[in-house]
Structure 1
Amino acid sequence: MKRQPTPLDMLMAEQRRVRESCRVQEQKINEDFKFIHDHSGRILFAGISSLFFSKRREPVENDEKKETEEQNPMLGMMFKNIPPLLWEAALPILLRWGVGRIGNLFRRRAKR
């Protein structure tokens, strides 16, 4: 005669199953990160070279043109996040320069 599992037993079994699933997923993610770390130079070079040296596609009709445009990354789309980063870097420099200029206006100059 088999006894029916209690809610606590079911909860503990579910907990073991979830922990095992998390362990397997963590192992897969660690393997992916290790692969990326080991091959980061090649991946970076391949991405840059495919960006600048991609094969030209033959002209297609209007219906197929939209699909081809979606497949080709545009250089502008790749660097769309650069202007905000440049602004963040340039803002402190501009503020320092501007404050220095305003400070020079109010300083007394030594008479010669």
Structure 2
Amino acid sequence: MKKRTKKPPTPLEILRAEQKRVRESCRLQEEKLNEDFRFIHRHSGKLLFSGISSLFFSGRRDDTPKEEKEVRDTPMLGAMLKDFSPVLIEAAIPIVLRWGVGRIGRLFKGKK
């Protein structure tokens, strides 16, 4: 009897094994993302409310000494505007772009 030696895998077999591994990895990542989206969907009301409430009522309890606290605290309006500025920027960009495009468009229109 001849003793069988194991042949090294062919390049096609290597590619197929890699393809199978990548597909399995993608499937697992997709399952994780789907679970995250299901969690967000189930808890969207709570997440939205907690985000809004933390935006306006960002005063957190801390156990720092009073001397340090007075130096660190910002006025309530300043804290609200600091947290709210990304939202304002996101809302203002499309408005400014539309206004700017309209102004540029008027420059190139010929007067009748």
TM-score bucket of the superposed structures, by smaller chain: 0.5 to 0.7
Alignment partner, residue 83 of structure 2: 78
Task: Work out which of the residue numbers 47, 56, 60 in structure 1 matches 2:51.
Answer: 47
Task: Work out which of the residue numbers 48, 59, 62 in structure 2 matches 1:57.
Answer: 62
Tell me which moved more, 41-50 or 11-20: 41-50
The one-letter amino acid of 2:46's match is R
- Which of 1 and 2 has higher RCO (CA within 8 Å, sep 6+)? 2
Q: Could you tell me how far apart the structure 2 residues matched to 1:75 and 1:3 are?
A: 68
- How many residue pairs match? The answer is 86
Task: Give 1:53 shift.
Answer: 5.2
State the TM-score, normalizing by the size of structure 2: 0.58
The one-letter amino acid of 2:91's match is L
Task: Give 1:12 shift.
Answer: 0.6
Alignment partner, residue 26 of structure 2: 22
From the superposition, tell whether residues 25 and 57 of structure 1 become closer, same or farther in structure 2 (CA, over 3 Å). same
Q: Could you tell me how far apart the structure 2 residues matched to 1:5 and 1:44 are?
A: 53
Q: Secondary structure of the equivalent of 1:79?
A: helix
The Cα offsets for residues 80-109 of structure 1, whole Å up to 9 and x where unpaired, read as 2314623643765xx7xxx9xxxxxxxxxx
The alignment-based identity, stated in percent, is 48
Q: Could you tell me how far apart the structure 1 residues matched to 2:60 and 2:7 are?
A: 67
Q: Could you tell me how far apart the structure 1 residues matched to 2:42 and 2:82 are?
A: 28
The one-letter amino acid of 1:34's match is R
Give the ranges of 4+ consecutive aligned residues of structure 1 lying more than 4 Å apart after TM superposition.
Answer: none
Structure 1 gaps of 5+ residues are 67-73, 100-112
Task: Give 1:45 shift.
Answer: 1.0
Q: Could you tell me how far apart the structure 2 residues matched to 1:84 and 1:23 are?
A: 34
